[in-house]
Amino acid sequence: MYDLACIGASWGGLQAVSRVLADLPAECDLPIAIAQHRHPDSQERTLAELLNTQTSRPVLDVEDKMAIKPRHVYIAPPNYHLLVERGSFALSVDERIKFARPSIDVLFETAADAYGAGVIGIILTGANDDGALGLARIKDVGGVALIQDPLGAARRAMPDAAIAATAADAILPLDAIGKFIYGLWVQPAAKQPVRDSGAVEGVRGNREVSPAHAETSAEPTRR
């Protein structure tokens, strides 16, 4: 059973996050936490209001010690790190990490520490490498690592870095991510087959491939 999905995004993230939320069926009650890079002077609630138009789920800017509830979407407020504790969130104004606050790495690493294998981490479009180490941490504790296919990302640096940092469970086009999360939620005991997107141009990673693919070829299929 999965306890929390964590999404990290930067440049182009509004469109990407909106699509993931819109594609996730309403009956999936998995809580979702989002770290989206924004200008520190961004208005609170603006992102939540925009995302509320894309989903029937309540979308909230996190307040310190806010409880985690099923089927809710939680947004890191601008200029705060979002940390996950068991059953609740915390906010921090510690130093920026990789020039970012909120930091995707902070969200992912604290989620992994709080929920271990119960976390699904998703890296979307972005222009730096924030989130790569955090996604690797989620994978290391037994969670699920999903990455948007860099070829379809508005900015591919963030997906590229995540691919290089960890063995992703799936590298997916944007329009497949919501459905894949739903599949994990429906059948948590049976891990879905790894979806290998083939070689990603300019990136050398250690992505997992399905057993059938591994038996037939030592090299990933190239587009």
Which is catalytic among the residues 3, 10, 103, 197? 10
Residue 69: C-alpha distances to residues 73, 77, 82, 100, 169 (Å): 9, 18, 16, 26, 26
Return the pLDDT at 188.
Answer: 67
- Is residue 78 within 8 A of residue 91, CB to CB? The reply is no
Question: Of the ranges 93-107, 147-161, 182-196, which is most confident?
Answer: 147-161
Percent of the chain with pLDDT over 90: 70
Which is catalytic among the residues 23, 37, 61, 105? 37
Return the pLDDT at 42.
Answer: 67
Among this protein's residues, is 210 annotated catalytic?
A: no
pLDDT over 90 at 159, yes or no: yes
pLDDT over 50 at 204, yes or no: no
Segments making up each domain of the chain, as ranges: 4-216
Weakest-pLDDT range from 3-7, 29-33, 136-140, 201-205? 201-205
Q: Token pair 């591994």 is at which residue? A: 214
Three-class SS of residue 6?
strand
Distance CA 209, CA 221 (A): 10
Among this protein's residues, is 37 annotated catalytic?
A: yes
pLDDT over 90 at 196, yes or no: no
pLDDT over 60 at 97, yes or no: yes
Which is catalytic among the residues 61, 105, 129, 130? 130
Among this protein's residues, is 113 annotated catalytic?
A: no
Q: Two tokens at 57?
A: 């789920």
Which of 163, 159, 146, 179 is closest to 19 using CA atoms?
179
Tell me the average pLDDT across 72-100. Answer: 93
pLDDT over 60 at 221, yes or no: no
Class of domain 4-216: alpha beta
Higher pLDDT, 115 or 51: 115
